[in-house]
């Protein structure tokens, strides 16, 4: 439904987005995740035809953002970071106004305004001035205007920024309920947002895509690294837990080791391997060699946060430079 190839955007000499590629299949909800300044808004503005790319292509439902912007705009609903609402209008007036701009016939407007107001939980405030609404309501009015012409694609820029936890929860539920009928890209710099709302994630850092995968795969894969939880019980001739820790650290291929709190007489550790190193066998031998009994040795999934930090920080050190 959305296809981005070799997309680059320069603002004068500054490269905000550099040669990015990704695709979003129909009906999916994809998180565009990256620190502030990564290039998320720039990419979204290109997809919504607000900005022309410097090079590369982006298509929505097969239509090119540069060559067929009218076709693209018909199929896209956009919620920018600050909802484009008019404070002096009542909610229903504003939604009718946007509906007219988006080409909805006058005869269908009242019905459509009612439908999206109910869909986005703003039906109880339709006769209120937008200036009198809470931020959560205003955001939902923003969503209602984005879906009023029933677009195939929704582009949501930081849709929960500035909301309180209850509003965040409601907005995430609403966004999830819109997936399927709509293909959605949402940008965020908050990891739980992606974990809780999206099927897939595109991680962007310094204008480049550093990873894209399903949320599940990304958390279980980190360039071949293994994370292993080790639990051991002292045997008859065991040294202390400090000696066991030393023995585990000395296993070739171990990159980090953290001690977890002891539980029920067990010593507990979490070990990460270097990329491509399989350390489980050697860890088991090290436990036995130190005179301890192996109680448990199990792989643990890295959290998306760890994956994210790893990918965005290694890119800073070794990735291609983005010209300033």
Interacting residues with ligand ADP (CB under 6 A): 11, 14, 16, 34, 36-42
- Cβ 46 to ligand ADP shortest distance, Å: 10
Residue carrying the six token digits 């001690």 = 259
- Cβ 186 to ligand ADP shortest distance, Å: 12
- Cβ 34 to ligand ADP shortest distance, Å: 5
Residue carrying the six token digits 């990419």 = 43
User: How long, in residues, is the chain?
Assistant: 324
End-to-end CA distance of the chain: 33
- Cβ 308 to ligand ADP shortest distance, Å: 14
Which CB sits closer to ligand ADP, 203 or 254?
Answer: 203
Contact 206, 240 (CB under 8 A): no
The Cα 265–Cα 187 span in angstroms is 46
The Cα 167–Cα 221 span in angstroms is 32
Which CB sits closer to ligand ADP, 36 or 318?
Answer: 36
Which CB sits closer to ligand ADP, 96 or 187?
Answer: 187
The Cα 283–Cα 252 span in angstroms is 9
- Cβ 32 to ligand ADP shortest distance, Å: 8
Which CB sits closer to ligand ADP, 16 or 203?
Answer: 16
Which CB sits closer to ligand ADP, 157 or 231?
Answer: 157
Which CB sits closer to ligand ADP, 40 or 172?
Answer: 40
- Cβ 13 to ligand ADP shortest distance, Å: 10
Closest to 32 measured CA to CA, from 47, 49, 12: 47
Which CB sits closer to ligand ADP, 17 or 95?
Answer: 17
- Cβ 10 to ligand ADP shortest distance, Å: 9
Using alpha carbons, list the distances in angstroms from residue 171 to 27, 137, 142, 159, 162: 18, 10, 11, 8, 12
Give the strand order in the sheet containing 227-234. Answer: 254-263, 266-273, 227-234, 292-299
Residue 38 DSSP class? S
- Cβ 147 to ligand ADP shortest distance, Å: 22
Backbone angles phi, psi at 297, to 5 degrees: -140, 105
Helix (H) or strand (E) holding 282: helix 280-289
Strands (E), the chain: 2-11, 14-24, 29-33, 55-60, 63-64, 76-79, 153-157, 183-188, 200-205, 208-214, 227-234, 254-263, 266-273, 292-299
Which CB sits closer to ligand ADP, 28 or 206?
Answer: 206
- Cβ 206 to ligand ADP shortest distance, Å: 9
Which CB sits closer to ligand ADP, 14 or 86?
Answer: 14
């Amino acid at each position: 439904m959305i296809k981005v190839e070799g997309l680059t955007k320069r603002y004068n000499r500054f490269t905000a987005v550099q040669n990015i590629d990704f695709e979003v299949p129909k009906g999916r909800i994809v998180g565009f995740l990256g620190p502030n300044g990564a290039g998320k808004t720039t990419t979204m503005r290109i997809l919504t035809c607000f900005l022309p790319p410097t090079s590369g292509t982006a298509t929505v439902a097969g239509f090119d953002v540069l060559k067929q912007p009218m076709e693209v705009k018909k199929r896209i609903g956009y919620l920018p970071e600050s909802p484009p609402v008019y404070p002096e209008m009542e909610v229903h007036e504003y939604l009718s106004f946007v509906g007219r701009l988006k080409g909805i016939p006058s005869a269908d407007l009242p019905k459509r305004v009612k439908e999206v107001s109910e869909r986005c939980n703003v039906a109880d405030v339709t006769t209120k001035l937008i200036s009198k609404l809470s931020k959560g309501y205003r955001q939902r009015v923003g969503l209602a205007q984005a879906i009023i012409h029933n677009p195939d694609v929704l582009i949501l820029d930081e849709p929960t920024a500035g909301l309180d936890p209850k509003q965040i929860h409601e907005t995430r539920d609403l966004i999830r309920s819109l997936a399927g009928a709509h293909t959605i890209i949402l940008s965020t710099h908050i990891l739980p947002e992606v974990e809780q709302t999206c099927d897939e994630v595109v991680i962007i850092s310094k204008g480049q895509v550093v990873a894209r995968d399903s949320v599940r795969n990304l958390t279980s894969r980190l360039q071949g690294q293994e994370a292993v939880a080790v639990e051991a019980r002292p045997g008859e001739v065991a040294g202390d837990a400090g000696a066991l820790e030393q023995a585990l650290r000395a296993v070739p291929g171990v990159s980090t080791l953290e001690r977890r709190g002891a539980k029920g007489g067990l010593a507990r550790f979490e070990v990460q391997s270097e990329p491509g190193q399989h350390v489980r066998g050697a860890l088991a031998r090290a436990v036995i060699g130190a005179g301890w009994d192996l109680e448990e040795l199990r792989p643990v999934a890295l959290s998306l946060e760890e994956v994210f930090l790893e990918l965005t920080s290694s890119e800073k050190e070794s990735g291609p430079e983005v010209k300033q």
